[in-house]
Structure 1
Amino acid sequence: MNYTPLSEGLRNILKTRNVTYKDIAAKLEMSESGVKKMLTANDISYNKLNAILEMLDLKIDDVVSIAPKPYKKLTEEQERFFEKNPKHFNFFIQLHHHKMKAERLKKANNKLSKEKITKFLEDLERINVLKTIDGDIHSLLEEGFQASEKFNERFRVQYDVLIKSLVGIKNGEWKSWMFEGLGTFSLSQKSALELRNEMQALLDEFSARSEREKKLHDPKELVNTGTLFLNVPLKIQDLFPVI
């Protein structure tokens, strides 16, 4: 396990609970400077980590769950390329949605030629956001990525697409039980109801997690997040068009 993000998560918890290095030093019978060095190093002994967790009444999974993810940052070159070629960015987002399967993306965009797909893939490989190995496509940003504020503003999803769909539903123009967003499902009424129940269970789970993370995080580390589940006939290609 990479200890660096784990230690950062642990330090956030200490800060939130107002637990000082001096408190931990007393518990572990160490010097305060030794504790500081230990909590900012690249590794820690299991016994000392376990002692700190016991002191905080936590399990290792609690710390792992809030450890920062190793998101990569888009390079200036990658941002400039996507800004100049927005269809390539949409293609990349769709490719992730379709599990890096070009044939699935082609099926969802039946007017997109194989030649154009090949060109997209070659360009994206050239700027190092994906790699093709033995015919399989692998994302080099699989764990997610960060970008500049300017870039985020440039590629923020145009919500007028969603609003138009909501207006259509209000006017009775929707035609199925299909739940679509960043996933596409064709379901029977029974399955659609099961999906709704699963979504409610997911909301309940994250509501409980929210209460827990309020106790583990400094308030400045928290992001106020709202979630809305809708039966909206939207497809990934509507939000991120490549043709």
Structure 2
Amino acid sequence: MSQTAALTQALKSALKAHGKTYADVATHLQLTEASVKRLFAEQSFSLSRFDKVCRMLGLEITDIVQMMQAQQPQLKQLTIEQEKEITQDMSLLLITVCVLNKWTIEDIMQYNNFSQSQCIQKLAHLDRLKIIELLPRNKIKLLVSPNFQWIKNGPIQQFFQTQLGKEYFNAAFREDEECLIVLNGMLSAKSNAEFQRKLRRLAREFDELNNEDAGLPLDEKNGVTTVLAVRRWKYGLFNPFSKKQ
């Protein structure tokens, strides 16, 4: 669905929610009801008329845009097969990570050794996976939900654990922008569940900060990877001393 069609549909939904009809719109715009029906059917509103209808409802155009975005289906997770596709192509994986962080095609080419045709090919692949919509002039519209996640223990997660885990922790974590906290304790099932809830909340706060900084130039940001994990675990190196094997 085009954005014009989606906006028109959102405006129709707003009219219904406010108990307004085409006849009410016609009176407000000083048109015939038939003319208003044609405006909706042909999606041919001028910006001025669209704004007048919004104001009749006590809304701004931005409110309708937000309604449009909320009505559009958003991807929350890929399938196992789709994640496998991405992990089997390192170029595709890199570009996927870039677009999820709201990079433009110009950003991708500036910081990586990809030609425009290579980028477009990979972006078209992501378009087929419904992760993005590749728009005219190679603009990228992200289609994933704000709470999009890789499959737990799925191909992407396993790839990062096996391929990048050692590299990630091969650091002293002494820089100003680095932090490593290792905690060990004895928690009840109730306390463990509460701690996991707080970890998930912290993850949401990380996403919010990431979204706030999305509009900043790339040279004002650095890639940051945060690992939040908790598990029932004993250090294997202490096994020789344990009475319970």
| TM-score under structure 1 length normalisation | 0.40
Give the number of the structure with larger relative contact order, counting CA–CA contacts within 8 Å between residues 6 or more apart: 1
| TM-score under structure 2 length normalisation | 0.40
Greater C-alpha Rg: 2
